[in-house]
Chains A and B, each alone.
Chain A
C-alpha cells in the first residue's frame, strides 16, 4: 500500500469504509448500518475482525452478511490477531480507510471509561474519521438532524465541509453549527469592571465574531437544500455541544478529531471530546481532516 496517499488526503468523500466486527449481539445491526452508509456514499466496505479466524466464525459472518443482503463483490473481510486497538488502527491506515464504523455504548461504567474501552480508545487515536453508533438498528433510521462543532480551529472548515457532504448524500435538511463560548476570567471581568450595557456588548461581540467566522466557512460550500443554523452555546467545550445535541434530539453529532494525544489525565480532568465520550448524546462522527 502506498501510505503517501494518506497524507493531505481530503476528509471527504468517504471512499473506503471499514467496520469493526465483534460478533456481539448488536453485530447484525452495525453491519446493516454500515451497508446502508456504504450504499449511499458509494463506498467500498471492509469488515475487520480482530481475533482468530475459525470456520465457525466465518460461517456466522457469512450468515450475517446474507441477512444484510450485501453483494460479496462489494465488501471484503480482514481477519487478524493482535491488540484490537492497535491492529484496527494499523489496518485502517494500510487500507486507506476514510471512515471507520464501530458500535459503542452510550455510557460506559466508570472503571471501563477511565481504563479506556476499545471503541473510545480508537476515537482518541484514529488517523481516519470514526463513526460511533450508539443505537444501531436492523432497519436504519433516516438521519434528520445534525449538530456540528464550529469551534475556532483549522480543522473546523474540513469538519463542516464533511458535514455538508454527509447532509447532501443523506438528504438531511437540518444542520446546526454550534460554537461553544467558554472564556476563563470573562465572568470575573464582567462582574468586576463592566456596566450592564458593557457586559451585554462584550457578550454580543463574542457572538457576532463567532457567527461571522462560521458564515465565512459556510460560504465556501454549496448548501442548497440544507437549512443551516448557527448557534452559540455557553459552557465547557465538549460538554456544551454534547448537551445541545442531546436537548435537540439530534441523530448525529459531528466534531473535529482531537488536537493532542489524549491520556488518562485528560479523562480525570475531562475536557473537549472526553466529555462527549463519557456520555454519548447520539451517534458521533469524528472527522479526521489530516491537516
Chain B
C-alpha cells in the first residue's frame, strides 16, 4: 500500500510543533514519545502501520479548534481518530501527521425524550449512546458490529450501518446536527434538534466524508423508543439461489424485517466449530428478525415461515422465547471471531443489488479456487451488503498481496453487477485505489472539489479515499 512521502520539513520541526501543541493542551494530552505514539500506528486494518509524528487528545471543541489552527498554520497534516476500529485504514497515520483522537470527549451533553434526541461528544462509543437512554426505554438505532468500541465520530466519518439498518437506516439517517471544526480552526454548527437542516444538505455531505472535511466534536442523534419485542427465525437451504429467492419473496410480501442475515457453508462450518450454535450444515443459512408485540411477531413470523416452507428448507426454526432467540443469533455474532480462529482474514463489504446474490456468490466460489484462498460469506442480505471474509496467512510471504488481489476482484465484481465498493466500512486506504473502478474522473473531481472548499490545503486525512495519483497535485499545492 503506497502512502505519500512524509513532508521532511514537517518531520524536522517535530519539536516546535509539539511545543506549540503543549501550549494549548494539558501536557498529558500531547503524546510525542516514540514508544507511546506506537499505540496510534494503525487501526483495525492491522496490515498497515505507521506511527504518527505525535498524537493529541483534546477534551472539547475549543481544544480541537486550537490544535487545528496550529496544524493549519504550520502546514502539518492531521488524521482524526475515533476509537481506531476502522477496517478500511481510515485512521492510519502518516509519519508527518498529528493524530487527533477524540477519546477524551465522551460525555452526554443533553438528552431530550420529548423531542427524541441525544446530544453527545463524539468520542462516546456507539453502544454507550444507547446505554445513556435505555433506562427510559430508548435506543440509538445504527448498530455496527464494533458498537462496543467504536466512537460516534468514526460512525459519522464512515456513515456506519449495522445489522438493523434495513428498517432503521444508517448513521446519516439518524444524524440531526453536528458541531464541526474545520482545518483552519473555524467552528461550524450544522443542523440541530430539528429535522432537515436548512440550506444545502451539508450534514449529509459530512456524514461519510471519512474525516476529510472537518473534525466533528459534538453530534445530535435521533433516538427511538425500543420495540416491545423482537424474535428471529432461522432457515437453511441447499443453494444460494433459493435463499436469495426467499429474501426477495419476504420483501415482496410487504414484510419489512429489521434484519435479514446470511451465512454460507464455510462460515457455518467455522462458526459451528467455534460457537456450537447448533446450525444446520447447508449452503445458505438465513436469520430473519421481526419486531413488535408477541402477537405481532407471531403474525409476521407465520407469514415468513409460510414463504420459507414453500422453498423446501433443510431446516426451519422459530424462536419461541428470548433463550432460543439468543441461540439463533449466537452463531452469527460469533462468525467473525470464528473465522479469525482459523486464520488471518480480510473482511470486505461491497454491496450488490439483492437480485445478483446467487451469481455473485457463485463467482466468489470460483475465484476462491483460482486464487487458492478460502472465503466465507456472512452478510446483511436484506440490503445486499456483503461481507466476504478471505482467509490468508500473514506469516506466509506473498499471501497478503494474493488476498488483496482476490479482494479487489470481488469488489470489481460488485461494481460490475450494479453495486459498490463499500456499503458501510468506508474507502480509507483499503479501497482507495479501486475508486476508478466505480467512478469516472469527472465523478471523482466533483468529490474532490468539495474537499477543496473545506480543506483547501489538503491537510486533513488527505491520503485516503481518492487514488493517490488523482489527488497528488492537490496535496503538493
**Do A and B form a real pair?**
no
Write the residues of chain B forming the contact surface with A, with a CB cutoff of 8 angstroms: none
